[in-house]
Structure 1
Amino acid sequence: MSSSDQSNQDLSDRIDALEMRLTFQDDTIETLNQTITAQWREIDALKRQIALLIERLADVQGNTEGPRHEPPPHY
């Protein structure tokens, strides 16, 4: 094999290696993107649940504060 053939083969091997790495990286990026999207959906759902729980807690606290400050009916 001549030096030129060896150089071409080395270049071809390097290109093949880069193409494989690029394919792997594209797949990894897509997987990460899907994971991040799913996490953001879950975070948004959790934020909504927390907001609802805060509202419910405020309602419960508001309902229990009134009678607690009034004397019981037998006084």
Structure 2
Amino acid sequence: MVPNLMTDIEKLQVQVDELEMKQAFQEQTIDDLNEALTDQQFQFDKMQVQLKFLVGKVKGFQSSNMAEESEETPPPHY
């Protein structure tokens, strides 16, 4: 019965080793995903600032000295 007991202990050790490897892989995956998410958040924040800037520019064009389309004289070929 002792050899059978060793086999059970060895099986348990193999299972523990496999679980430890899976856990280490999952930790690395979580770290990689966290880094990717952090990078994306930084890019998103940067794009929001750029978008606000562009919206301000477009609003500035609307209130400029440009005439409305209805006030424009037609081009000479009409």
- TM-score computed with the length of structure 2 as normaliser: 0.81
Aligned CA distance change for structure 1 residues 71 and 13 (closer, same or farther; 3 Å): closer
Q: Which residue of 2 aligns with 1:54?
A: 55
Query: Is 1:9 the counterpart of 2:16 in the alignment?
Result: no
Task: Give the drift of 1:60.
Answer: 1.0
Segments of 5+ residues of structure 1 without an aligned counterpart are none
Matches within 5 A, 1:1-75: 2-65=3-66, 68=67
Task: Give the drift of 1:6.
Answer: 0.1
Provide the aligned C-alpha RMSD in A: 2.0
Distance in 1, Cα, partners of 2:22 & 2:72: 76
Q: Say which structure is richer in helix.
A: 1
Deviation above 3 Å: which 4+ runs of structure 1? 69-72
Residue type matched to 2:8 in 1?
S
Distance in 1, Cα, partners of 2:10 & 2:42: 48
Segments of 5+ residues of structure 2 without an aligned counterpart are 74-78
Distance in 2, Cα, partners of 1:16 & 1:5: 16
Deviation per residue, 1:55-74 (Å, 9 max, x gap): 00000111045xx16799xx
Distance in 2, Cα, partners of 1:14 & 1:4: 15
